[in-house]
Amino acid sequence: MRRLLKIIGIVVGIVLLTTVAFGAGLFVGGANLLAPGIIRTTDQPEQFSIFWQAWNLVQANYVDREALDNTRLTYGAIRGMVDALGDTGHSTFLSPEQYTQQQSDLSGSFSGIGAQVSMKDGLPVIVAPLDDSPAQKAGIKAGDIILQVDGEDTTGLTLNEVVAKIRGTKGEPVTLTLLRVGDSQSMEITIVRDDIVTPTATWAMIPGTSVALIRLSQFSQNAKSELLMAIEGAQAANATGLIVDVRSNPGGLLEQAVAVTSQFLKDGNVLLEEDAQGQRTPFPVTPGGAATEIPLVVLINPGSASSSEIFAGAIQDHKRGQLVGETTFGTGTVLQPYQLQDGSALFLGVKQWLTPDGRRIRDQGIQPDVEVKIPLGTDLLTPSLIREMTPEELQSSPDLQLLKGLELLGAQPQ
């Protein structure tokens, strides 16, 4: 993605936080010579004196001297600064290890248990286990709260720290202590890590109907190619309607969002991009979409974010199909990556996304045309599951959002 992956420059800023003087242009503030020195450059804001005062007090007085890891303290300061921007779930700081992990995720393969994890009310929560993953096979469910990883309490850990502890070498076990919604006691589940090759797009014909379910799990670099294979498969099976499921899809690459959305639209824009001065740049539909006529329903929920919201918003604005489910997450800033000199990276929201009609996604999300709420932790139907189901089993499923989609398409299971 030209906007997500293009490295514009090196951000130096506060990366080189240290307690020694920086050389020319520095001064020490504070008249009390017995107090810690407060050091800042002459071109820095006055508030930096407060930061340096706190930094020096910690360095001079904190009792646990082994905890004074300057790299960890620096990273913590940067994360705090980015969190204060309020761009929850998007602008972020990644350590060198986390940045490498993030690039692996976008490639569609990594080693771990195969589950999407997010933070809710300060606690790590399973968003959804990936299809056919070790997590799904072990019984992990959406909504499970992760209390411990291998006996270590997750309280106070960042999302990236929790994910790093869950991931590991293929073949090695990891034990999660979980609290499930509705249960009064925690449980332990041990999962053997494996290489996770994330299928971006999977599909299956819904039993008893002529409708195909296409599941988009993320917008990684192979999203368009896998979607085209799914569409071709559905067309070969004589599908008369499509349900595209982007529930709990955290997003991915902007270029893939445009490419995927273009498969369902004939013309117009996929989105608008607005900068700080209010200037808007359109991202037009790429002509020649593979599924521009077939009746369509899109499933969304609060776990649908970023590129998923671009896709859903465009489908809605173009009146191409109905959205069923719940309001999406509301992540709508354009991330510009700035790789720092130690291999860490700052992903900063420098612009924001709007739907083709100019609706803001950030902090608002995309609202469904037909709202259907289901309890957190409900087992969502996936292509791999419905392949093994009878029409009767499908009709009794708790996945009311998918069943509503079938109803809107006039395709009740027979």
The series of mean pLDDT values per 10 residues for the chain, 414 residues long, is 38 32 32 44 78 92 93 92 80 85 63 82 80 86 90 87 89 95 88 85 96 94 96 98 93 93 98 93 98 98 91 98 95 86 91 96 95 84 91 94 97 83
* DSSP label of 353: E
With residue 195 as reference, give the H or E element that holds it: strand 194-197
Tens of pLDDT, residue by residue over 70-107, are 999 999 999 899 989 877 667 889 888 888 777 766 55
Q: What is the pLDDT of residue 223?
A: 95
pLDDT of residue 32: 40
In angstroms, the CA 74 to CA 16 distance is: 8
pLDDT of residue 130: 74
Q: pTM for the complete prediction?
A: 0.71
* Residue matched to tokens 């071109």: 43
Residue labelled with tokens 């959804």: 128
* Residue 65 DSSP label: G
**Res 22: pLDDT:** 30
C-alpha to C-alpha distance for 122 and 61, rounded to whole angstroms: 29
Query: What's the helix, strand, coil split of the chain in %, to 5?
Result: 25, 25, 45
pLDDT of res. 89: 63
CA nearest to 170, candidates 145, 148, 191: 191
